[in-house]
């Protein structure tokens, strides 16, 4: 693989851009509110150190060692592993489609927050976007399309395509913008929130542990799940980025920086949300659903953030534009996880392949501009970003733990680490035992819940859930079919 990041900093920036996304800014604060603040934080940090960081290191080290994306990396671990790698790539591609749709929503909300703030209570901020912009239907029927959201999604795909065509260095360059601007806005909103009279109450609710909830299985499931999903593990991103690493890069220290940045942004976003909603008297409306937080809680809070409606409009527009950047950078990373193995497998030109992939995926994401968008996001996100990721994580941990190559990755991780090394015993114990056990415990209640019935029509579950999962786990076979060399029959007389 010819492409490489120019430096270790470029790898860290691109990886932070992939890891820091809407889950940090929207879902993490809601989980803190739901599960006792400091209690959730404590379990999350423990899971990050014992589970997330070792697996993050393993993926990056495997990518650098093999110099290929997820299919080649997984194939190096066991026979038939390429199918697992292609499933990871396909899952990332579908995730990018979802992220592009959400980015279109957020970019639209950056425009629509203005009338919400200027109305001064004349409209309901909690329901404005879904009722007045998407015209979302409760039964999932497609009866119309939002021109604004459609245009926003198209803009998002153009930007993602430009980033994707530029390769490794464009990924790190774009991350300077898509990471630092949202962080700066979160700092601004947090600073404003700290001036509310009840900010101390908000911070206490966030950081003080409520140990009465520590026995809740849901708390542990969500804390473990947040680590795996927030770091974008087992979806092909880190192997692809690891393949772009300079040879002598210190993987362990880089992974620590990525994990620390990911956790720091999550905590910063939590401070911003807690102080703001407590200051506006909306603390009872905090939800573990990122969609509710983004399009119901934050609009109401931003509308009352400052005395001047004009200032609220400006801050609200900037805030939603920043969230759009987060979603876009995560989407680009997901697309890169799918594109780089395709280029490698079929010897394609990046500059030609990127627009084709973006056009095809962009056509799918237009479903998120229709009246069926809300139900589509809820179902597809649950299947693609939850059920599929759990299965892919378990399979990857088993592949790493049972193969000689996987167990020996600690040496590759520490090859240029100097004095700061990942203890091999911790790595092997985490990847071989802790991660699979934790993921199985995470999976069992969710699978039971899946088959006991979800509150959606059967046709919608099939169209937006099961069909997507089937496509993901069939990706390896599909790639093999298209990669088979074609034979050309010769005509009689010897002409080809």
d(CA 435, CA 53): 11
Reading the block at residue 486, the tokens are 């074609």
Burial 148-170 (b: 16+ CB within 10 A, else e): bbbebbeebbebbbebbbbbbbb
d(CA 85, CA 68): 11
Q: What share of the chain is helix, strand, coil (3-state, %, to 5)?
A: 75, 0, 25
Residue 494 has a pLDDT of: 38
- In this predicted structure, the answer to whether residue 490 has a pLDDT above a threshold of 60 is no
Report the percent of the chain where pLDDT is more than 90.
53
Residue 493 has a pLDDT of: 41
CATH of 8-481, one of 1.20.120, 1.10.340, 1.10.4160, 1.10.3470: 1.10.4160
**pLDDT mean over 489-494:** 43
- In this predicted structure, the answer to whether residue 360 has a pLDDT above a threshold of 90 is yes
- In this predicted structure, the answer to whether residue 441 has a pLDDT above a threshold of 50 is yes
d(CA 225, CA 244): 27
- In this predicted structure, the answer to whether residue 91 has a pLDDT above a threshold of 90 is yes
What does the CA dihedral 264, 265, 266, 269 come to, rounded to 10 degrees? 130
Residue 77 has a pLDDT of: 95
Residue 371, phi then psi, degrees to nearest 5: -70, -15
d(CA 61, CA 431): 14
- In this predicted structure, the answer to whether residue 244 has a pLDDT above a threshold of 80 is yes
Three-state SS letters, 317-342: HHHHHHHHHHHHHHHHHHHHHHHHHH
387, with CB counted inside 10 A (0-12, 13-18, 19+), is middle
Residues in the chain, total: 496
DSSP string, 224-292: HHHHHHHTTTTSSHHHHHHHTS-TT--HHHHHHHHHHHHHHHHHHHHHHHHHHHHHTT-GGG--S-HHH
Give the global pTM.
Answer: 0.91
List the domain boundaries for the chain: 8-481
The predicted-structure confidence for 455-488, as pLDDT tens digits, reads as follows 888 899 999 999 999 999 999 888 877 765 544 4
The predicted-structure confidence for 161-179, as pLDDT tens digits, reads as follows 999 998 877 888 888 888 8
Residue 153, phi then psi, degrees to nearest 5: -65, -40
CA distances in angstroms from 155 to 135, 161, 167, 328, listed in the order given: 21, 10, 20, 11
């Amino acid at each position: 693989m010819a492409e490489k990041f120019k430096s270790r900093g470029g790898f860290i920036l691109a990886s932070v851009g992939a890891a820091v996304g809407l889950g940090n800014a929207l879902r993490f604060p809601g989980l803190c509110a739901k599960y006792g603040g400091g209690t959730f934080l404590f379990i999350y940090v423990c899971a990050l150190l014992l589970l997330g960081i070792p697996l993050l290191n393993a993926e990056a080290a495997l990518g650098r060692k093999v110099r290929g994306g997820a299919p080649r990396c997984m194939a190096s671990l066991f026979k038939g592993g390429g199918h697992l790698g292609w499933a990871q790539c396909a899952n990332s591609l579908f995730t990018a489609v979802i992220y592009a749709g959400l980015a279109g929503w957020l970019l639209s909300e950056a425009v629509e927050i203005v009338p919400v703030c200027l109305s001064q209570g004349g409209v309901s901020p909690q329901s404005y976007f879904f009722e007045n912009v998407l015209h979302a239907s409760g039964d999932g029927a497609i009866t119309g399309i939002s021109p604004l959201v459609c245009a926003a999604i198209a803009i998002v795909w153009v930007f993602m395509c430009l980033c994707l065509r530029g390769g490794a260095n464009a990924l790190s360059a774009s991350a300077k913008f898509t990471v630092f601007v949202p962080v700066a806005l979160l700092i601004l909103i947090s600073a404003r929130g700290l001036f509310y009279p009840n900010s101390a109450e908000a911070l206490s609710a966030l950081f003080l542990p409520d140990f009465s909830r520590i026995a809740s299985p849901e708390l542990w499931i969500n804390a473990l799940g947040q680590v795996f999903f927030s770091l974008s593990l087992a979806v092909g991103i880190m192997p692809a980025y690891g393949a772009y690493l300079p040879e002598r890069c210190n993987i362990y220290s880089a992974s620590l920086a990525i994990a620390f940045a990911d956790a720091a942004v999550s905590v910063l976003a939590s401070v911003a949300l807690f102080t703001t909603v407590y200051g506006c008297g909306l603390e009872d409306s905090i939800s573990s659903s990122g969609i509710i937080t983004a399009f119901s809680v934050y609009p109401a809070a931003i509308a009352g953030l400052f005395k001047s409606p004009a200032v609220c409009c400006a801050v609200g527009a900037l805030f939603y534009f920043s969230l759009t950047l987060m979603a876009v950078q995560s989407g680009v990373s997901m697309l890169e996880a799918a594109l780089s193995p395709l280029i490698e497998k079929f010897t394609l030109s990046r500059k030609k392949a990127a627009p084709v992939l973006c056009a095809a995926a962009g056509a799918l994401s237009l479903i998120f501009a229709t009246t069926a968008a809300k139900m589509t996001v809820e179902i597809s996100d649950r299947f693609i970003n939850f059920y599929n990721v759990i299965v892919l994580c378990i399979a990857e941990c088993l592949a790493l733990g049972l193969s000689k190559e996987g167990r020996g990755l600690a040496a590759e991780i520490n090859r240029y680490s100097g004095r700061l090394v990942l203890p091999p015993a911790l790595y092997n114990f985490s990847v071989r035992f802790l991660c699979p056990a934790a993921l199985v415990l995470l999976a069992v209640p969710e699978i039971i819940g899946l088959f006991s019935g979800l509150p959606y029509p059967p046709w919608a579950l099939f169209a937006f859930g099961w069909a997507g999962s089937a496509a993901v786990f069939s990706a390896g076979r599909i790639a093999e079919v298209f990669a088979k060399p074609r034979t050309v029959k010769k005509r009689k007389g010897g002409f080809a």
